Structure 1
Amino acid sequence: MTPPKVHWKWKRVTSSIVSLLVVFVAVYYYYSYPKNVAPPAAHPKEALDQILSGLLRAEQKVDHARPRVALGLGGCLDVIVNALKLFEKLDFHPPTKVQHHSSLQNQEQLQELFGYFFQFGAAAERYVENDTFFGELWQGANSIKSRKWYLGGNALAMAQRLVQEGAEVLLGMSYSEKLRALLPPQVKVAGPTLETDDIHLILEYEKGVNWGSFTSPRANRLILHSDNSNPQLEALEMFREQLDTFQPSLLVLGGLQMMDNFPYEPGVRVERLNKVQEMLSILPRKTKIHFEFASFTDMNLLHEIMDKVIVYADSIGLNEQELPNLVTLLNDGSVTLVSDANPRIATVLDQMRYVYSHLHNESEKEGRRQLSRLHVHTIAFQAILTDKSSTWKNSMSATAKAALTAHRHVCGSADIDTLKARILMDDSFSTSKDKTAQRIPLQKNRPVSCWDEDDFQICIAPVLVCTKVQQTAGGGDNISSAGLVLQV
């Protein structure tokens, strides 16, 4: 035997194995990172601190106003619980197949629906028709020690953020005396009282967790409700009566997804939306109207909302799942249930231009309005488009504030610790998928990028994504509110 030769052969074999492993690991990380995710080493703490300082400077560049904002319609109590803990408690298991359901009746449908959205890391909200089944879910959630209670619903969540930011608020919703006592005393409330509040279950999950053969690509949540008052818009008449006295500079409308697949008597839903349309059509032009989009599945409802709400809005707020849904609605009238959880900036901007071009040219007859503002909030970045001839102001500061609020809400802290943050936005981005598009670098000391196109301006800001998630529900509502408060 000649040990030296064996030794060198072994070293060559080892070297080959190591080389293959290096290649494998490199390929794995290249394909496993979402498109907008940069490797952590690309953004050390010093770079994150620079970006944070730049965002704070942009946010503080303008004085805080105290706009008068009316918000409707609806509110509830949210019970937030870890989805997988609840499923373990109730002995629910991953399905053999995933399937979408517009509404839910039983355990099997919930398992199929949850798996359907969980695999994409997509947010969703669904009505539970079976009151007994919803009661079982609620009892299970309430028995978990780590569950949390929050005031919820689009209008109520946005109202809380706006009050926190210094706005004067009129809130339209049905409520119990117990819930009213939990609201900031300066919030004016218009709506009928309830004996018991509607409860929404927020089933949250973190990024990278496994449920059977499924793995979540990002943190998100499924919202379940079995409401009776919110889908009926019971606060509408009392809310409308107080608008003349309150004289808001902005009216925010959200929560209409509650009407999705609710078992109305024939014609009732259209009748309620006709009342909303009438309210919006007679508002003075000096009162801007913002519509907060949401997760919709009923195609008929979406068309009704387009005809009776969206065409009366000056501004729309959406996330990365909801924007493609609005695009397909405008394009061919269809519904998009899920889409890319980490879309490229170029893709989002092209979709925003498409929506703006369609709704900005809307005829202003019979109280309709031309869209002049779009705010798209994603996990990685904030994008705000505004008509340059409109009275929307402070776009750069508003985009920065929205980005900072995303971190503050999800991390549950007003102070931002860059040790609990990462950047998912690329170091540069294209302004369009068009080959001739401009490419803009992310400047760490001036992280908000703004530029003019045709008759509008676009601003983009990176989000310091929270890595210690405390809450995902209500994120979009808080982000949209923060952006609006500086622009009215």
Structure 2
Amino acid sequence: MVWGELYSSAFERVRAKVGNVKGVLLAYNTNIDAIKYLERNDLEARVERTGKEEVIQYSEELPESIKGVPQLLGSILWSVKRGKAAELYVESCPVRFYMRRWGWDELRMGGQVGIMANLIGGVYGIPVITHVPQLSKLQATLFNDGPIYVPRVEDGKLKLLHPREFNNNEENCIHYIYEFPRGFRVFDFEAPRENRFIGSADDYNPNLYIRSEFRERFDEIVPRVQLAIISGLQALTRKNYREPFEIIRGHLEVLNEKKVPVHLEFAFTPDKTVRKEILKLLPEIWSVGLNEVELASIMEVMGEKDLAEKLLASDPVNPIAVTEAMLKLAELGVRRIHFHTYGYYLALTSYRGDFVRDALLFAALAAAAKAKLGDVSLINDIASAMDVPINDKAKAVEEALVKEYGMKNGIAEVSGYQLAFIPTKIVEKPKSTVGVGDTISSSAFISEFVLR
């Protein structure tokens, strides 16, 4: 199979149709990312000053939240050691002050919703209605030009305004992103791939604060969109999940009543109670997106510990174990499961068609373009990733799928579902990894819709 030809065809087909989407609803997490590019000497010195022995213990197993500097530094080492992304809520004010003093190299749009809004609205030109927990002046400046809207009630009427027209000076919600490249060394650890650790240091997103416009006027917002993407549940805990989940269930009821397909984007969720509650939402969800760390964490709360271990045992991730895990999720009623990992993507769907595979190809191009350029400003920028090489390790993955499921042209039948596979393009030295996962999932979901 000539994957290069399939990539080119998928890009042209999506580019021709992507403007046909009426609108996309994005909720609930938007913030400001303060990005710090880690330096070995600086990080090692901080660990030594804090107490290496105490820090190292957190590099073995992540805490549920960050309450001290040893947990912060140990969690960063956890990500470096594995080359895996993780995000934890920073409870401690002294740790937040420590991170602020540590500083950052740049500020960017953050939060899954914020990143997706700038891509879908600012690049693809699709109208998006966006939930922004706190719309500060700085937050507003980080939104791209384009059909990006936030709802506002004026004189009893719902209006949609670009964030820069909102004219409120609410709080800055800052998340600290600690990025490292492939091969980054600290003590005896060496990063097998580039990635980052995220310390969430605001009190709105971690509590899933939902604005009054979305709580009170949601039934007026939904008729303006054809698709919805939900994210931001990852920082909730057993102590604070009940109220936001009650609102989310109400929102899902309205979306399903209006026949709006909903995609739920997972992120690493430390609290097991919240993971179990997310599983209860899946019968109301059309589609989910996740990586191997997130899929393993879900398998763990489903009682599939052996399968969870298999998902984290090899690089590249064992595609047969991934498929088995996706089938477990599909049994809960979700119609589409999109798995993305370093080197390849899979999609398990209750429906069939090459468009599922082609949507993954477009998403992989968009992700490679973002990694290569740092940001994507125009849809034609995505074509710049056409010359990025396809991951060599994905060949063994494809061969395993062919042997196990008789896969042809990236498509197979598995237990009554369709399984789609693509090898991804790998940027050797990406400018940044922040937002790549959100680019992948939102691009695949939307392009699958336009290719139907």
TM-score range, shorter chain: 0.7 to 0.9
- The structure-2 alpha-carbon separation of the partners of 1:52 and 1:141, relative to structure 1 and needing over 3 Å to count, comes to farther
Matched position secondary structure for 1:98: helix
Q: Check conservation: 1:208, 1:217, Cα contact below 8 A.
A: yes
Matched position secondary structure for 2:193: coil
Shift of 1:242: 4.2
- The structure-2 alpha-carbon separation of the partners of 1:419 and 1:459, relative to structure 1 and needing over 3 Å to count, comes to closer
Q: Check conservation: 2:80, 2:184, Cα contact below 8 A.
A: no
Instruction: Look up the equivalent residue of 2:52 and give its one-letter code.
Output: P
1:170 to 125, 129, 135: 129
The 2-side partners of 1:276 and 1:419 are apart by 40
Shift of 1:237: 3.5
Instruction: Look up the equivalent residue of 1:430 and give its one-letter code.
Output: A
* Structure 1 residue 180 corresponds to structure 2 residue 157: no
- The structure-2 alpha-carbon separation of the partners of 1:59 and 1:270, relative to structure 1 and needing over 3 Å to count, comes to same
Match of 2:119 in 1: 161
Matched position secondary structure for 2:241: helix
Instruction: Look up the equivalent residue of 1:136 and give its one-letter code.
Output: Y
Shift of 1:75: 0.6
Match of 2:394 in 1: 425
Shift of 1:439: 5.2
Match of 1:445 in 2: none
The 2-side partners of 1:113 and 1:178 are apart by 28
- The structure-2 alpha-carbon separation of the partners of 1:276 and 1:237, relative to structure 1 and needing over 3 Å to count, comes to farther
1:53-87 CA distances to partner (integer Å, 9 max, x unpaired)? 43121232353232411010021110111123694
Q: Check conservation: 1:86, 1:141, Cα contact below 8 A.
A: no
Match of 1:119 in 2: 81
* Structure 1 residue 323 corresponds to structure 2 residue 295: yes
The 1-side partners of 2:270 and 2:172 are apart by 25
- The structure-2 alpha-carbon separation of the partners of 1:79 and 1:377, relative to structure 1 and needing over 3 Å to count, comes to same
- The structure-2 alpha-carbon separation of the partners of 1:196 and 1:282, relative to structure 1 and needing over 3 Å to count, comes to closer
Give the unaligned 5+ runs of structure 1: 1-46, 361-370, 442-447
2:230 to 248, 253, 260: 253
Q: How does 1:368-387 map to 2 (within 5 A)?
A: 371-387=334-350
Shift of 1:273: 1.4
- The structure-2 alpha-carbon separation of the partners of 1:111 and 1:233, relative to structure 1 and needing over 3 Å to count, comes to closer
Shift of 1:194: 5.1
Shift of 1:463: 0.8
Shift of 1:190: 3.4
The 2-side partners of 1:190 and 1:233 are apart by 18
Q: Check conservation: 2:151, 2:213, Cα contact below 8 A.
A: yes
Match of 2:69 in 1: 107
Shift of 1:106: 2.2
- The structure-2 alpha-carbon separation of the partners of 1:230 and 1:159, relative to structure 1 and needing over 3 Å to count, comes to same
Instruction: Look up the equivalent residue of 2:400 and give its one-letter code.
Output: S
* Structure 1 residue 92 corresponds to structure 2 residue 64: no
Instruction: Look up the equivalent residue of 1:437 and give its one-letter code.
Output: E
Instruction: Look up the equivalent residue of 1:257 and give its one-letter code.
Output: Q
Shift of 1:359: 1.4
* Structure 1 residue 57 corresponds to structure 2 residue 9: yes
Q: Which has the higher helix share?
A: 2
Higher mean Cα deviation, 421-430 or 169-178? 421-430
The 1-side partners of 2:395 and 2:406 are apart by 11
Matched position secondary structure for 1:104: coil
* Structure 1 residue 471 corresponds to structure 2 residue 432: yes
Larger radius of gyration: 1
2:372 to 380, 396, 411: 411
Match of 2:162 in 1: none
Instruction: Look up the equivalent residue of 1:396 and give its one-letter code.
Output: R
Q: Check conservation: 1:86, 1:140, Cα contact below 8 A.
A: no
Shift of 1:185: 4.5
TM-score under structure 1 length normalisation: 0.76
- The structure-2 alpha-carbon separation of the partners of 1:90 and 1:190, relative to structure 1 and needing over 3 Å to count, comes to farther
The 1-side partners of 2:400 and 2:132 are apart by 42
The 2-side partners of 1:130 and 1:335 are apart by 35
2:270 to 286, 292, 297: 297
Q: Check conservation: 1:89, 1:140, Cα contact below 8 A.
A: no
RMSD between superposed Cα atoms in Å: 2.9
Shift of 1:401: 0.8
Runs of 4+ with >6 A deviation: 333-338
Shift of 1:113: 2.2
Shift of 1:281: 2.1
Instruction: Look up the equivalent residue of 2:31 and give its one-letter code.
Output: C
Q: Check conservation: 2:7, 2:386, Cα contact below 8 A.
A: no
Instruction: Look up the equivalent residue of 1:380 and give its one-letter code.
Output: G
Shift of 1:406: 2.1
Match of 2:159 in 1: none
2:220 to 235, 244, 258: 244
1:149 to 80, 84, 107: 107
The 1-side partners of 2:213 and 2:251 are apart by 12
- The structure-2 alpha-carbon separation of the partners of 1:249 and 1:330, relative to structure 1 and needing over 3 Å to count, comes to farther
1:76 to 31, 56, 81: 31
Q: Check conservation: 2:366, 2:385, Cα contact below 8 A.
A: no
Instruction: Look up the equivalent residue of 1:150 and give its one-letter code.
Output: R
The 1-side partners of 2:171 and 2:220 are apart by 29
1:321-354 CA distances to partner (integer Å, 9 max, x unpaired)? 1112222223369996992453022222222122
Shift of 1:243: 4.5
Instruction: Look up the equivalent residue of 1:131 and give its one-letter code.
Output: C
Q: Check conservation: 1:317, 1:375, Cα contact below 8 A.
A: yes
1:195-234 CA distances to partner (integer Å, 9 max, x unpaired)? 3311111101111221101111111110001211112333
Q: Check conservation: 2:228, 2:261, Cα contact below 8 A.
A: yes
The 2-side partners of 1:148 and 1:236 are apart by 28
Shift of 1:394: 2.3
Match of 1:437 in 2: 404
Instruction: Look up the equivalent residue of 1:343 and give its one-letter code.
Output: V
What's the % identity of the aligned pairs? 22
* Structure 1 residue 354 corresponds to structure 2 residue 331: no
1:94-148 CA distances to partner (integer Å, 9 max, x unpaired)? 9343322111122222222222332111110011111222122123223xxxx12
Q: Check conservation: 1:377, 1:383, Cα contact below 8 A.
A: yes
Q: Check conservation: 1:73, 1:236, Cα contact below 8 A.
A: no
Matched position secondary structure for 2:33: strand
* Structure 1 residue 461 corresponds to structure 2 residue 436: no
* Structure 1 residue 234 corresponds to structure 2 residue 209: yes
Shift of 1:295: 0.4
Match of 1:129 in 2: 91
Q: Check conservation: 1:430, 1:439, Cα contact below 8 A.
A: no
- The structure-2 alpha-carbon separation of the partners of 1:334 and 1:131, relative to structure 1 and needing over 3 Å to count, comes to farther
Shift of 1:285: 4.9
Match of 1:339 in 2: 312
Shift of 1:440: 4.7
